Structure 1
Amino acid sequence: MLTKLDKIKADLNKARTKRDEWEQRVKDLEKKYKETENTMIHDMVHAANITPEQLAELIQKANTTVPFKITEDIENDD
């Protein structure tokens, strides 16, 4: 009976170790993703040769929603 508990305990410890390794891997990949994303954004802004003020204006315009109204009816071909 004790050997059964020992085996379960060993399996549990092994699973916890693997979990910790995967959690660290996830954190590392999230960090790498964010760094790469930031580098790509920086490179695009640099390639566009825009000033920080121009970038702020572009971001503001992109975040502004413009209401629109559909003025034409779409005809259905039946």
Structure 2
Amino acid sequence: MATSKSAKIQAEMEKVKAKISEAQAKLKELEQKHREAENEEIVDIVRGMSVPLDELPLLLQKLRGASGQGGQKSGPAGEGAAE
């Protein structure tokens, strides 16, 4: 018995959905690897500065103030909300 046109289309749709699902999983994995690589680069930069750990928050605050961000966007949630 011949496969109907709609059944062929349905089978192709299922194949495409499976490929999309695989691509989304791959994208999520790549995003995680990218985030980890960025974090490693940041740690390497900070360690290369030879700044004592207890002085690091103050240094970062000074840098943020010098860049003109003033607590916008890159701080923890709620930071700068009382401005």
Normalising by structure 1, report the TM-score.
Answer: 0.73
Q: Displaced runs of 4+ in structure 1, greater than 4 A?
A: none
Shift of 1:45: 1.1
Stretches of structure 1 that go unaligned for 5 or more consecutive residues are: 67-78
Cα offsets for 1:2-41 (capped at 9, x unmatched):
6101111111101100110110011001100000000011
AA of the residue aligned to 2:4? T
Higher RCO (C-alpha under 8 Å, 6+ residues apart) = 1
Shift of 1:51: 1.8
AA of the residue aligned to 1:9? Q
Counting only pairs closer than 5 Å after superposition, residues 20-59 of structure 1 correspond to structure 2 as 20-59=21-60
User: In the aligned structure 1, how far is the partner of 2:25 from the partner of 2:40?
Assistant: 23
User: In the aligned structure 2, how far is the partner of 1:62 from the partner of 1:48?
Assistant: 14
Paired residue total: 66
Q: Does 1:17 pair with 2:4?
A: no
User: In the aligned structure 1, how far is the partner of 2:59 from the partner of 2:11?
Assistant: 57
Q: Does 1:61 pair with 2:59?
A: no
Q: Which moved more, 1:54-63 or 1:25-34?
A: 54-63
User: In the aligned structure 2, how far is the partner of 1:18 from the partner of 1:53?
Assistant: 49
Normalising by structure 2, report the TM-score.
Answer: 0.69
Shift of 1:57: 1.7
